[in-house]
Amino acid sequence: MILKQIAQKVSDDTSKIIGYPVSISDEHGYLIGVSDRTRIGIFDELFSIVIKSKKLMYWNEKDSQKYTNIFPGVAAPIIVNGEVLGAIGIIGRIEENLETENYIHLVKNHIEMMCHEEIRKEIKSFEASSIEKLIHYILHFDNSKQETDYIIRYSKMLGFDLTLNRICLVFEIKTALNVDRNSRHPNIQQFQYDLLEIISYLFKDDQEDLIGALNFEQYCILKTVHLNKIDDSFFKRLDDKTKKLNILLENKYNLSAFVAIGDLHTNTGINGVVKSYQDALKTLEAGKKINNNTNLYNYNDLTVLLEILLSELTQKSFKKLHGKFLSFLEHDSFDVLSLTFLMYCKCNMNISETARELFIHRNSLNYRLEKIKQLTNLDISNFEHCLLLYMVIKNI
């Protein structure tokens, strides 16, 4: 199967380079790659003999006349991992000399190397598929269905210990700004393969780390943590790696990536990983709303936690507040006033700093804040009052 996938291309490319027709057969002697495509599928008895003998063979005009549809030339078996996959023949080279042998061995070695590479890719693809299957089992784990034993057995078969502490990182891939969306994008399968290779290269520090695709846009790594606590250096390393990831993605694909880190739930096995994954998804959404010029979001960042808390409060919780601030929410200048108020909160209710951040005069800022005060009846110098309005605006 592997040889069949590359046979015709190798035949065409090699024929152009060496100036002689090149034929390739499968393990039974049937032609699967030939310069003359009308011969594909024909049984070549001499190739069959080469395959059985596992030796290089020459045959001249007189030899070839003994068989049907056979041309003079030289052929050698294609052997990968001790198994004969087929044969390669150069038609028209019948001189038994060093130059001919170099030709046939060069082509034979090239094909065998390509087959080795394809086999390596298939093995790697199978391993990646098995790990992705395990990841999906873990992340969609339902304790009520008593799936624990099955998942643990499957993980052990793949060489992973699910009793170790793991923290979940979710990667979301987005098209970079100001770029042609159709430029330099590979096919989906190749892109996912390349991206997983990049993530593995940058983020995998332990053989127990599990890396896989969640869908076309999202990927994750269940990262092994051997301690019960994570220090600041851990997040600093992740930040550096996230920056490198974005440089690689932008240069190669005109893409960017957001990375969200869930919380670490120690000594809780599969349930802890599931919670960390759920934390990471919440962190990703919260981080994108905050938009603080970073591509790495951490669940334990207090700004992120506040955003998550606001998103988890029910609409019923805000119904009374919405009614109280209706004049403000429906005002024609709401967009400008709400942006001003959020910046005021971000600057710790400091008038001078807020004016600088908004690039407006201090008097203009005071006018806007006074307008907010009139519309809401809040004391905007009072932290608790500001918190109520902040929560309402962020919930819209």
Query: In the chain, what are the domains?
Result: 2-117 (3.30.450.40), 140-311 (3.30.70.270), 313-395 (1.10.10.2840)
**Rounded Cα–Cα distance for residues 344 and 351 (Å):** 7
Q: What is the pLDDT of residue 124?
A: 82
Q: What is the pLDDT of residue 158?
A: 92
Helical spans, DSSP H, in 19-97? 45-53, 61-64
Give the type of residue at 138: I
Q: Strand 31-33's sheet: what is its strand order?
A: 31-33, 22-25, 83-91, 73-80, 57-59
**Rounded Cα–Cα distance for residues 74 and 40 (Å):** 18
Per-residue CA distances from 119 to 5, 90, 123, 356, 389 (Å): 12, 25, 6, 61, 61
**Rounded Cα–Cα distance for residues 1 and 217 (Å):** 31
Output the pTM of the full model: 0.67
**Rounded Cα–Cα distance for residues 224 and 86 (Å):** 45
The conformation of residue 90, written as its DSSP 8-state character, comes to E
**Rounded Cα–Cα distance for residues 323 and 121 (Å):** 61
Q: What is the pLDDT of residue 128?
A: 86
CA 198 to the chain's CA centroid: 8
Q: What is the pLDDT of residue 214?
A: 92
Q: What is the pLDDT of residue 228?
A: 75
**pLDDT by residue for the chain (396 residues), tens digit each?**
678 888 898 888 888 888 888 999 999 999 999 988 888 999 988 899 999 999 999 988 887 788 777 888 899 999 988 899 999 999 887 788 888 888 888 888 988 888 888 888 888 888 888 999 999 999 988 776 667 888 989 999 999 999 999 999 999 998 754 444 454 555 777 888 889 999 999 999 999 999 999 988 999 999 999 877 788 899 999 999 999 999 999 998 899 999 999 999 988 889 999 999 999 999 999 998 887 778 999 999 888 888 888 787 766 667 767 777 888 999 999 999 999 999 999 999 999 999 999 999 999 999 999 999 999 988 888 888 888 888 888 877
